[in-house]
Amino acid sequence: MPERYRLDTSRPRPPRRRLLRELGFRYATAVGLVWGLPLSTGRVCRHGDLIIVSGLPTWAYRRGGTTVGRVYLTGANVGERVLVHEAAHVEQWRRYGMWFPLLYWIAGANPMRNRFEIEAGLEDGGYLPRRRRSMRRPVPPTVTSSVDDVEGTAASTQTSTSGSIATGTESTTATTATETP
């Protein structure tokens, strides 16, 4: 076999599909920047792998914001939990490349049934009310005396003939004893 037809196995090459997905992801990121930057009147910043373009008019994005590639296009919806949700969409864009918009459309517009919104987290995306965790913990019963005190008290408590409880030499209620002559 001639040398020019041999495969070079010395360095690993990414599979063609992964390369196409990465190119689609980068292309989508470029489209998001081209769309968002000229329209933005707010801050443009990075949050991890996410590029946030805020201050957009409401017609420039859907719902509270839209992620295109790595770019999150929004008006002012930049809460921490929303950014976690949008970072999940970045990973979806990276995983599916330019197939993502078609797959998202097929999944449907209802976020409660859209598998991509469910995967990104419906609560973080603001589609469901956030569950509040109770900050109260059950209070364990408090022990006010030690074992030695309990044993000592039990030994010194006695019931008198009149039905009152006496502790040591003191009585908690007045005894009504009748004396016989």
Using one digit for the tens of pLDDT, what is the confidence trace for 81-128? Answer: 999 999 999 999 999 999 999 999 999 999 999 999 999 999 999 999
Task: Examine the pLDDT at 60 and tell me if it is beyond 70.
Answer: yes
pTM value? 0.64
In-domain check, residue 177: no
Number of domains in the chain: 1
Domain residues for the domain of 75 are 13-120
Give the whole-angstrom CA distance, residue 96 versus residue 98: 6
Residue 15 has a pLDDT of 77
Q: Which pLDDT band holds residue 3 (cuts at 50, 70, 90)?
A: low
> In degrees, to the nearest 5, what angle opens at C-alpha 111 toward C-alphas 109 and 113?
90
Give the whole-angstrom CA distance, residue 65 versus residue 124: 13
In-domain check, residue 60: yes
Residue 38 has a pLDDT of 97
In-domain check, residue 20: yes
**Which tokens is 21 given?**
């997905």
Question: Could you tell me the CA-to-CA distances from 168 to 153, 158, 165 in Å, in that order?
Answer: 9, 8, 10
